[in-house]
Structures are given as structure tokens and as C-alpha cells.
Structure 1
Amino acid sequence: MKAFVIEKYQKDGGHISQVPSPTPKAGEVLVEVHAAGINLLDSKIRQGEFKMLLPYKTPFILGHDLAGVVTKVGTGVRGFKVGDEVYARPSDYHIGTFAEFIAVPEADLALKPKELSMEEAASIPLVALTAWQALVEKGQLKKGQKVFIQAGSGGVGTVAIQLAKHLGATVATTTSAGNAALVKNLGADVIIDYRKDDFEKLLNGYDLVLHSQDAKTLEKSLRVLRPGGKLISISGPPTPEFANEAGLPWYLKLLMRMLSAGTRRKAKKLGVGFSFLFMKADGRQLKKITALIDAGIIKPVMDKVFPFSQIKEAITYVESGRAKGKVVMKIK
């Protein structure tokens, strides 16, 4: 089968080559991949930025989002059968969606939303699970609360805005003037042009912040929260709590304690909460997201669809930060 293989950690690494097709083990499902979403995480892993957290041994196949059709099931699989249309964000160490076939743990899969194309479905899992785990699981966002979602026109932002509105929250977001109509249509109530306005001067008393930007933005975001409010970061710095949950070795726990010390100290002084989220694969949560998609509550936002042959160009486009919503690659 064709697959995009990383043989060495580097900025422009990887190439399409022929590799053996996988065989599903017990509890796994073999999926013929029709489309794969491309995420900034793919770029960071390719460059080696996550080697300490996720030490993938080269060579390995890249890719964290998929939509496709079940072609074979391993022993013990009960929830899926050959011919099912599915989608997933495979769990860490089971990635490899930039390929014609992949074996996915059953627990990571969900049936594809009926009305979505394969390309639309492939754009959903990673960003939707990130939004769900930030707003529902960690943030416990409630009706009537106020949430600030940074980068509203990005992959996570477009889904997070829709989910937050469904939960009954008032949503503020940052974007460019050119994307203001997009985020407004998704449900954003307060739209801030990050190129000319300072969100810290416009927002205050917020219950929750979904942070995805740099350290300077994080520090300012802590100050827009009410006492007792929470900031959940998906861009760092990682915390000791995250290191414990991930079962990391002692030296990484120490490193993360040091990296996040300043931010945790500032949050404590302001009387607000700070936590780091590295999303996890979860087929059960994805089924709940599917129900929201089938009900028309969450709709995919896609920018471009690239052919498999242009995978490097697709990753470069994602790295540019210009995409509105998600970038997807058509494999079949």
C-alpha cells in the first residue's frame, strides 16, 4: 500500500512509499482510508517537537484523522463489521492515517456521520475531540457562562464555537476581519480583530478560556477570567498534573514542573485555574459528537482538499496558519 513515511525527524521530512498493508490484531479494525485530516500536530511530530512526549521510532507513518470503510475486523471486535463507514482519531502509537489502510483500535472508532462526505468526516475527529475535552470534560462549560475561544476560524476554533453555543454559553473569539463573517455564522457573540484590537481591554469576567496561542497571549488571557475561572491550554506549557496523568518518567515531570511554574504562579495570584490538555482518542466521545453532527448542531468547516500526491504541499499550507477550518487529503 502507499503511505507517507517519516524516516528521519526534520522540517520537510517524509515521502510516499510502498509499505506492507497492516493486519488487524485482536481488538483492532482494518480500515481502508478514503480521506485524512491534516493537523498542525502532524507537522510538529514530523519535526520532532514531541519526541520527549511521543518518542515514535522511525520509520513510522504520519497522520491523526481518518474517514474510511471497514475491510476486516480482528478477533474480539463486536461494534463494527466489514462495510461500515467509520471515522476516528487513532490513539497515540496507533497513528498512521496518511496511508491507504490502517489498523485502528475498536475503542477509537465511531460510525461516520451519515450526511457527511468522507472528506468532511475526516476533518472532524481530532479538533472535535479537543473541543469536547476542553469545554465539556475539563471546562464543564454551563449555560449562561462566558467563554473566550482563541483563533475562532481555525480547526479547533470553528468546532469549539459551535459546541459552546450548543451548551448555552456566550462566546468571544479572535480572528481577522476577513474571517469575521465566518465565526459570526458559527455563533460567536463577540468578535475581536486580533490585528487591531487588544482582547484584554475588551473582555473581562470570563468563566473559561480555550487557549491555543503563544505565551504572551496566555498571560493576557489569564487576566480576562473572573476569580475562580479556568484557562485550558492546548499549546502549553504542560503541567505536572498532565505529566502524572500521562505516566511520564520523573525527569519529564520535573521538566514540566519547571516549564509551567511561572504560568501556574500567575494563575494562583489571580485566583484562576490553569491546566494543559493534550487530547486523547475516544470513540465514545466521538459517538456523542456524531449525534450533534447528525442533528445539525455541529457542521464541518473545510478550507481545501488536497490529493495524496500533494501531501507535502498540504502540510506546508497547514503550517502557514492561513486555513479557515480544516485541510483534508483525499486518499481513495
Structure 2
Amino acid sequence: MKAIVINQYGAPDVLRYEDIPTPTIKPDQVLVKIHASSINPVDWKIRQGLLQPLSGYNFPKVLGCDLSGEVVEVGEKATSWRVGDQVYTFVNPLFGGAYAEYVAVNATNLTYKPQNMTYSEAAGVPVAGLTALQGLLDLGQLRPGQRVLINGASGGVGTFAVQIAAVMNAEVTGVCGTANVEIVKRLGAHTVIDYTQEDFTQQQIQYDIIFDAVGKQSFFNCEKVLKPDGIYISTLPTVDNMGATLQTLFFSNQKCKLVLAQPSRRDLDALRDLIATGKVKTIIDRTYSLSDLAEAHTYSEMGRTVGKIVITVNEGLQTINID
């Protein structure tokens, strides 16, 4: 099969489009023919070598975690799946495998693809959508009527967080750059702050939840704009935020929490249900073919992505499925 392989850590030019063996599945796995994947910052951080203590030093490696596709082989213990099932999920970014034509996936970690989405749209959901859902609902315990601020509201995680918070009938404030203000409003934000014109940490308003989808702030910077029992949630485990997480666990009514998306069929099903209503969708900035992945990584690293960057793999089946 074709895959993107790295034989060393480094710049985008270490990504190689090569032939490698198709994975062999275990009894509790299924083999998925990938139709689309997407870029997450963790992918290129691994490629750069920033996570070497976790990602290891064994090469070659196939990166990538998000995927949507169809089941083509079923392990003897994966009895809930059938060949031809259309699915979506993500695999552990540290082990990767989604920048390829096929990947072996644990049967309990995937679920049916949203029927009203193309494979490309569905591939943009898992990591970003689950980060937003699990951050707001599991860590933030978001309730209707609460005041929520999403920092980085036009990015991959941010666009899902704005939509999910709006669906939950929260009072949503999004923070983004000038060019994306209207997009964030259309996604459901009641108020949008242009960070080039205003620093939200200097406001007089206080929030029940501050969701830092881009990890650009810290709990300590946000303390005064959090309500006395407010929760700050970040996607980036900086030294400051890890320290604040421990400190607030014991010594403060305000809390600092870190979100790391976990594969969950229940949560993927919940996202699929929201998508089915038309209230949540994937915002796609650009689409690249698998062979152009280096260009896609280069663009992602600029930090200007609006929504998601999608990678088409086995092309030709990008239609919406209607039963």
C-alpha cells in the first residue's frame, strides 16, 4: 500500500510517499481502507521530534491519526463489524498509521461515519471534535446558560467547540483574528473578540468556562476573567498549566484542566448525532492528496488554518451516503 513514511525527525521534507506492507490485523481489530485523513498539530509536532520521549526512536514511522473509510477485513473477535461498513475514528497519534491507504484499528474504537457527511468532512471530526466535546462536557461540565469563551475559535478544535457550546445553549464568546470574525459568528458565537484589537484577559466580564483551544494563554493569565468557581481548560500541557492543574486541584475553587482527546465510540456517536441534525459541521480550509502531505504540513505549521486541513487518500468515493 501507499503511505507517508518518515525515517528521521525533521522538517516537512522528511515525509516520504512510499510503498509499505499492508497491516495485518489482530483478532480484535478491523482493517480500514482509508478514504480521508486530516492534519492535527500533534502530527507535525511528532514529525519535528518535539515528542521524542513519547514517540520513540524507532523508524520508519507512519504518522497521522484521524481517518474515515470502510471496513475491508474483520478480525475473528470483531464480530460487530462487517466488510463494507463506513466508519470514522482516530488512532493513537504516537503510533500513527492514518497517513496511509489502510490501517488496522481496534474494533471498539471506531463507529459509523455520519451519513450526511462526505469521507473528507468526517475525517476532520475525530480528534478536534472529541477534544471540544470532552473538554466542554466532561471537564467543563457545561450547562445551558453558562458563559463560555473559546480562545482560538476559528481553528480545528475551536470551530467544533463554538458549535457544541452553542448547541448546549451556552452564551458563547469566540476569540479569533480579524479575517475570521464572521465565520465564528456564523458557527454560533454570540460575541466575537478580535484578538488583534482586544485582549480578552483584560475584560471586566467573567466566564464560567474558558476553553483555550490553541493553548496561547495560561490559567494564571485568565484567573481574573474566570468566575470564582470557573474552569479554565487548555489543549496544551505547558509547565504553567500543569502546575496550575495540581495547584487548583487542592487549593482553589477555580480549576485548571488539560484535555487530551480519548477514542470513545460513545462520544463519536454523540458527535454523529449532532452532525445528523445539521447543528455541527466540519469547516474545511484546504484539501490535499496524500502525496502532497509535506505541503499540507507546511501550511498547517503557519498557524493560519481555519477549521481543518483534509487529506484525501483512496479517492473517488467522496459522496454523501443516504440510506
TM-score by length of 1: 0.88
Partner of 2:24: 23
CA distance in structure 1 between the aligned counterparts of 2:257 and 2:215, rounded to whole angstroms: 15
Partner of 1:5: 5
CA distance in structure 2 between the aligned counterparts of 1:289 and 1:229, rounded to whole angstroms: 25
Native 8 Å contact 1:207 1:229 kept in 2: yes
Displacement after TM superposition at 1:307 (Å):
1.3
Q: In structure 2, do the counterparts of structure 1 residues 100 and 47 end up closer, same or farther at CA, with 3 Å as the change threshold?
A: same
Q: Does 1:62 align with 2:58?
A: no
Aligned to 2:299, the other structure's residue is in SS state helix
Of the structure 1 ranges 205-214 and 292-301, higher mean CA displacement relative to structure 2 is found in 205-214
Please give the residue correspondences for 1:158-177 in structure 2 after superposition, counting only pairs within 5 Å: 158-177=159-178
Displacement after TM superposition at 1:216 (Å):
4.7
Native 8 Å contact 2:63 2:93 kept in 1: no
Question: CA offsets per residue over residues 113-166 of structure 1, 9 Å max, x none?
Answer: 001111111111110010111011111100111111111110000001010111
Q: In structure 2, do the counterparts of structure 1 residues 203 and 126 end up closer, same or farther at CA, with 3 Å as the change threshold?
A: farther
Native 8 Å contact 1:27 1:76 kept in 2: yes
Please give the residue correspondences for 1:127-142 in structure 2 after superposition, counting only pairs within 5 Å: 127-142=128-143
Of the structure 1 ranges 83-92 and 49-58, higher mean CA displacement relative to structure 2 is found in 49-58
Native 8 Å contact 2:68 2:119 kept in 1: yes
CA distance in structure 1 between the aligned counterparts of 2:187 and 2:281, rounded to whole angstroms: 9
Percent identical? 36
Partner of 1:315: 297
Q: 2:280 aligns with which of 298, 303, 307?
A: 298
Native 8 Å contact 2:71 2:83 kept in 1: yes
Of the structure 1 ranges 227-236 and 275-284, higher mean CA displacement relative to structure 2 is found in 275-284
Partner of 1:246: none
Name the count of aligned residue pairs: 313
Q: In structure 2, do the counterparts of structure 1 residues 64 and 292 end up closer, same or farther at CA, with 3 Å as the change threshold?
A: same
Q: In structure 2, do the counterparts of structure 1 residues 103 and 159 end up closer, same or farther at CA, with 3 Å as the change threshold?
A: same
Q: In structure 2, do the counterparts of structure 1 residues 20 and 203 end up closer, same or farther at CA, with 3 Å as the change threshold?
A: farther
Of the structure 1 ranges 29-38 and 219-228, higher mean CA displacement relative to structure 2 is found in 219-228
Q: In structure 2, do the counterparts of structure 1 residues 324 and 180 end up closer, same or farther at CA, with 3 Å as the change threshold?
A: same
Please give the residue correspondences for 1:1-332 in structure 2 after superposition, counting only pairs within 5 Å: 1-12=1-12, 13-55=14-56, 57-92=58-93, 94-202=95-203, 204-214=205-215, 216-237=217-238, 260-261=242-243, 265=247, 271-332=253-314
Q: In structure 2, do the counterparts of structure 1 residues 133 and 47 end up closer, same or farther at CA, with 3 Å as the change threshold?
A: same
Displacement after TM superposition at 1:271 (Å):
4.1
Displacement after TM superposition at 1:274 (Å):
0.8
Unaligned 5+ segments in structure 2 are: 315-323
Q: In structure 2, do the counterparts of structure 1 residues 259 and 113 end up closer, same or farther at CA, with 3 Å as the change threshold?
A: closer
Q: In structure 2, do the counterparts of structure 1 residues 214 and 296 end up closer, same or farther at CA, with 3 Å as the change threshold?
A: closer
Question: CA offsets per residue over residues 268-307 of structure 1, 9 Å max, x none?
Answer: 7774101212211112210111111111121111111111
CA distance in structure 2 between the aligned counterparts of 1:159 and 1:312, rounded to whole angstroms: 25
Unaligned 5+ segments in structure 1 are: 239-257
- Alignment root-mean-square deviation, CA: 2.0
Displacement after TM superposition at 1:230 (Å):
0.8
Q: In structure 2, do the counterparts of structure 1 residues 140 and 54 end up closer, same or farther at CA, with 3 Å as the change threshold?
A: farther
Native 8 Å contact 1:31 1:71 kept in 2: yes
Partner of 1:250: none
Question: CA offsets per residue over residues 30-83 of structure 1, 9 Å max, x none?
Answer: 011111111111011111222233436322110010111110011111222100
